[in-house]
Copies of this chain bind each other. A is one copy, B any other.
């Protein structure tokens, strides 16, 4: 039979089973966006005629990478919020109010291009104005698991220790925006986009609104994506308002169940993380972002040890400062070794699974993506193993492909990205759009932000302001 596409290569990591599913001289038959069959290269070359055949010589083929938690709309603030405590108030605080819808959309496209070039195929995007983001996800041909930030706390810079004031109108408006997003985009773009509900965190949303979100998510057979125990600032708010830490409070509220994707768990103890996992929630760990913003390594290992699935996330450009799952794989392995003072924990294969099949489980999309198996959507990447960072290739007695993907690759070794059976990055070019325009637009729309934020920036007087005055930036 004639199919759309046949890919064959010397090295394929299918991520099927409980390892990495390495297959030598392997092939994938792809038709109408799905993987139709996999098997030895010689068999499939004989069995199928294809409209296009890709010879992945010199490459390793693996599932597209999954970024479980991003705020792509903040990308125009890259590099403006790090090396400071009180990141949210003192770091991004002076800048975020000045992000127009246009600047959010332009930033989102920049972030998508950056991540796509580094092999990200699924975008777990969480932001304020998501219609434009969804348009970009659709237009660039990528997969999205998205939600609107539902926040009830008034949007202003709070002093450390000041209790947030709730604005029910804001909460209502944001919930309605999330509902509208669901109605318009859930299942859109050939099913590539799914919409969840996105309360910003148990500190930012009242109890009643949290429960309403849960009811709506149940009704719509979708899930909740929420910053949970995201830092000492949240814990402080919860103690002030309810006299309890986030996890026990959410547990008592009946919020810890398979509906919830718990993002960060920065300030969760190992016992709390294990409890969240035991209740059937999943987790996204943003190692680069939380390491830089807080100097903390979240308890992802305790979550896994309790049986939970954990995805990786790049969070946001201001504070991480990049969207690159190769970076997150390396940092998740490295930072967990440092947390445990043990080089054997969080080995390369484990974080590669978190970036693929385990990440897909955490986002609830493992029946569709995350491994290269018949029936799944054809989301995959080709990584060039002839690049200096990937050389040499050893195959026996030990294969070094996975360690080199995790610890040496930078992301620029990705030479081809396919999503839903369509090649969206190839020959150094994002295929569906004119990349130069997206980059130029990002720069153009970023330029007014500085002037708009200047007063607040100097008034807040964060370490960055002092560094500017001292010629250190």
| Chain A residues in the interface with B (C-beta under 8 A) | 17-22, 76, 78-80, 82-85, 87, 110, 113-114, 117, 288, 291-297, 317, 320-322, 324, 327, 331, 333-335, 337-345, 347-349, 386, 388-389, 391-404, 407-408, 410-412, 439, 442-443, 445-447, 449-451, 453-454, 457-458, 463-465, 467-468, 470-473
Give the residues in chain B near A442, CB-CB below 8 Å. 391-392
6 interchain residue pairs of minimum CB distance: A79-B400, A392-B446, A19-B471, A83-B347, A114-B388, A295-B337
Give the residues in chain B near A333, CB-CB below 8 Å. 83, 292
Considering the chains assembled together, what is the distance between the CA atoms of A179 and B114 in angstroms?
49
Centre residue among A19, A291, A334, A391 by max chain B CB count within 10 A: A391
Minimum C-beta distance from A339 to chain B (A): 8
Q: Is the CB of B410 within 8 A of A342?
A: no
Give the residues in chain B near A293, CB-CB below 8 Å. 343
Q: Is the CB of B20 within 8 A of A343?
A: no
**Given the contacts A21-B471, A340-B295, A408-B321, A117 and B395 also touching, CB distance less than 8 Å:** no
Considering the chains assembled together, what is the distance between the CA atoms of A386 and B338 in angstroms?
34
Q: Is the CB of A292 within 8 A of B78?
A: no
Closest B residue, CB atoms, query A405:
B79
Q: Is the CB of B344 within 8 A of A297?
A: no
Q: List 22 A-B contacts (CB under 8 A).
A: A17-B471, A19-B470, A22-B471, A79-B403, A80-B398, A80-B400, A84-B344, A85-B343, A87-B343, A110-B391, A110-B392, A292-B334, A294-B343, A322-B407, A347-B463, A347-B472, A393-B446, A394-B450, A397-B450, A398-B450, A398-B457, A402-B473
Cβ contact of A343, chosen from B79, B83, B297, B321, cutoff 8 A: B83
**Given the contacts A76-B392, A388-B113, A446-B394, A296 and B85 also touching, CB distance less than 8 Å:** no
Q: Is the CB of B398 within 8 A of A464?
A: yes
Give the residues in chain B near A79, CB-CB below 8 Å. 394, 400-401, 403-404, 407-408
Minimum C-beta distance from A38 to chain B (A): 16
Number of this chain's copies in the assembly equals 2
Q: Is the CB of B341 within 8 A of A391?
A: no
Q: Is the CB of A85 within 8 A of B342?
A: yes
Closest B residue, CB atoms, query A335:
B338
Give the residues in chain B near A87, CB-CB below 8 Å. 343
Given contacts A110-B391, A392-B446, 16 further A-B contacts (CB under 8 A): A21-B471, A79-B400, A79-B401, A79-B408, A83-B347, A85-B342, A87-B343, A292-B334, A292-B343, A296-B338, A386-B439, A388-B439, A391-B442, A392-B442, A398-B468, A398-B473
Considering the chains assembled together, what is the distance between the CA atoms of A315 and B246 in angstroms?
42
Q: Is the CB of B295 within 8 A of A342?
A: yes
Centre residue among A349, A395, A407 by max chain B CB count within 10 A: A407
Considering the chains assembled together, what is the distance between the CA atoms of A3 and B190 in angstroms?
61
Q: Is the CB of A20 within 8 A of B472?
A: yes
Q: Is the CB of A468 within 8 A of B397?
A: yes
Considering the chains assembled together, what is the distance between the CA atoms of A49 and B363 in angstroms?
61
Q: Is the CB of A320 within 8 A of B468?
A: no
Q: Is the CB of A457 within 8 A of B397?
A: yes
Closest B residue, CB atoms, query A21:
B471
Q: Is the CB of A471 within 8 A of B20?
A: yes
Give the residues in chain B near A317, CB-CB below 8 Å. 408
Centre residue among A293, A295, A340 by max chain B CB count within 10 A: A295
